[in-house]
Amino acid sequence: MRPIEQLLKPHPDRDGSFRWRGDGVSRIEGLSDAVFGFGLALLVASLGVPRTYADLTKMLVSFPAFAATFGLLIAIWSAQYKFFRRYGLEDAQTIRLNVVLLLVVVFYVYPLMFLFNTFIALWLGMIGFALRIQPIIDQAREAQRALKPEQWPAVMVVFGAGYVAVFAVFALLHRHALRRAEELRLDALETLETRYAIREHLLKASVAVFSVTITLVLTYGVGWPPSFAGMVGGFSYALTGPVMSFHFRGVKRARQALAGTPVTVEPVAAS
């Protein structure tokens, strides 16, 4: 990796005011891209090749679950990409944390697809029964057979554990970058962004903790039917939107407060 002085680029348009320190695709990122590609291949393989019209309709009905899982994997890849572009770290601690992230990603591809497929199929089933759309009705009945009501709390715990693991790793990665702020020559704004990135990932993990907690409390504390409690726990992930809105308002206020403070940027040596 080239000296940090040759990598710093002041305020590139592609990432706001955060200077990128990543120099091309490192071996860590190359391995990561291969693992993410493998995870997406597993996701596609889970659909299977349709051989009959019934198989085709089943695959089409499964598309919303496929899209949700695909979107989550891409969001994780995007967050990892931004981290390595911003900080360009390749030390032992970064490698260890990244390996944990890749392990979780590969392991959770099928559980994610299973959960999204079951959750979406059951809710679409209500529409299917109302409109008498047979493929959707069949998918909903298959989801009911695949996941018994008493198994919902365990499934929500499994999903929540994976969700927490992913964003806890991102929080630890940014915490590690913050510890090396002087070496990376983070300016005041970049340091602020890094601190708030830690908070962002911890808040996302907290939503999963809340989801698991509310599912278990409603099931074993209040005595609600496990399937209904699991549904409530699943929908509680919608809290991510308001929580992130609150978070980004805080980031905006912090940036505005910092705007009145002179920001020192290290001089960039000519490459």
d(CA 90, CA 17): 23
Confidence of residue 3 (pLDDT cuts 50, 70, 90): low
Compute the average pLDDT of residues 6-30. 72
Burial class (CB in 10 A: 0-12, 13-18, 19+), 257: exposed
d(CA 114, CA 111): 5
At 268 the pLDDT is: 43
Compute the average pLDDT of residues 32-37. 94
Confidence of residue 209 (pLDDT cuts 50, 70, 90): very high
> Mean pLDDT over all residues of the chain?
86
At 265 the pLDDT is: 47
State pLDDT tens for residues 168-196: 999 999 999 999 999 999 999 999 999 99
65 has a pLDDT exceeding 50: yes
